[in-house]
Structures are given as structure tokens and as C-alpha cells.
Structure 1
Amino acid sequence: MCCFFDLIRELMKLALEEVDAGLVEETKKQGYQIEKKNKRSVVTAFGEISYWRRRYACPGKKAQYPLDKLMGYDKYKRYSVLAVKDILQVSAVATYRNTALAVNTLSCFNL
């Protein structure tokens, strides 16, 4: 089953990087320039995904990661909304220890 999750994670990584590439023109039209590319890791319901995304800077404005903003990924949070939802559903009917055990056993990531 984790082999299937590996495939999903790889497809999600490629899709995120493709969307990031598609945001270049739109972001440059707003006056931003590509500053650098950074790696980011996010834990999803299918496990951890690491991908590269562009950071943009513009004089007088705050630097930004348009892909993270589009996807709803907060600056310092590592878990996707779906992963958090799944964890909360289990924790609503189980103790925290049993929730961690269930998530660690049934998913491709650990709490």
C-alpha cells in the first residue's frame, strides 16, 4: 500500500512544482522577481512531500511564496488540511496515545 502512496506523493510533488512554474508570469506582472528556490516539506494524508518552490521579492513589498499561498500552506506549519482533518477525526473518539498509534499504523507518516 505504501508503494501506492509513494506514487501519489511523487505525482503531487510534480504537480506542485508544475503549478509553481505556472505562477511565474502572473507573479512577475505584479512587479515581483524570482529571488531563489527553496525546498519545502508538507505532511499530507499520503505522507511527507518535499518539493521546490520559488520565492519572489519586490522592492517595498514583503517577499512571498505564491504557491504556498495558493495551496493554503501556512508559513511554519507542516501538516496539510486533509492530514489534520484525518487526525482530528480519530482523536475525537480515541485517547491521544491511541490516536498516535492509529495514525502511525494506518498512514505513511508518524505523529
Structure 2
Amino acid sequence: MAVYDKQVASTMRVNGYRRIDTPERTVLFTFGEMIFSRNRWCKGKKTPYPVDEWLGFKKYMRYSPELLFQLVKLVSKMSYREVCRAGRHLTNLSPMRTYKSGHKNGRWRTHAR
């Protein structure tokens, strides 16, 4: 990723962008969690991250597109419960933990079950 950042730097400067900072990002891939830093560029109000665009990440995206693809593939072949079990091995989140966390933060309302 650092190599790509260096390759794209000259193109960004030619197009009128200037480098602001190098923030870190944590993303969960199929092979595990990875923390990496990437350059943020600025031109007016635009602040792109070329590495994020290259990898196909959207803003605030924590899971890689490949991981999401694999989970969708599992969903089509397994029951919901089995997919949740498999998902727990990849991440520390479970549907119930997410529900409780959201409820605690006031983001979701309790629904009758």
C-alpha cells in the first residue's frame, strides 16, 4: 500500500492536490484484521484517499469487500445460526451484541419479538 501511495503521489500533485496527513485505518479482511496508514490529499473541499479507492473501500467501511462477499456466499448455503457461528470466528461481533450495543447507545429501538 505504501508503494501505491508513492506511485500516485506525483499524479496527485500534478492535479493540484496537496498531502494533508497519513491517518491509520483498521479493516477486517478474510485473513484477519489489518491496520495500515495511507495518505490523505486535499484540493478545495475534496479530500480523497487514493489507497482506499484502489482497494474499493467506501467511507467508514470496516470490512473488506472480499469478506462481505464470502459472508454472502455463506448465507446462501447455510442457516442464519451457522453463519453467525462462522462470523464469530472472524470478528468479535455477534447479532445480539450489536443489538445490545445499539440499544444501549439509543440508536435502535426495541422491537417486540
TM-score scaled by structure 2?
A: 0.73
The reply to whether residue 104 of structure 1 matches residue 81 of structure 2 is no
Report Cα offsets for 1:4-45 as digits up to 9, x if no partner: xxxxxxxxxxxx222122211111111000001100111111
Name the count of aligned residue pairs. 92
Note if contact 1:17-1:51 (Cα within 8 Å) is conserved in structure 2: no
Gapped runs of 5+ residues in structure 2?
A: 94-113
- Determine the C-alpha separation between the residues in 2 that align with 1:102 and 1:70: 28
Larger of the two Rg values belongs to structure? 2
Pairing partner for 1:47 from 23, 32, 53 = 32
More strand by share: 1
Residue 82 of structure 1 aligns with an amino acid whose one-letter code is E
Which one has more relative contact order, counting CA pairs under 8 Å at least 6 apart?
A: 1
TM-score scaled by structure 1?
A: 0.74
Secondary structure (helix, strand or coil) at the match of 2:47 reads: strand
1:72-111 matches, within 5 Å, as: 72-105=56-89, 109-110=90-91, 111=93
Aligned-residue sequence identity (percent) comes to 28
Residue 90 of structure 1 aligns with an amino acid whose one-letter code is L
Secondary structure (helix, strand or coil) at the match of 2:39 reads: strand
Structure 1 residue 61 displacement after superposition: 4.1
- Determine the C-alpha separation between the residues in 2 that align with 1:101 and 1:48: 18
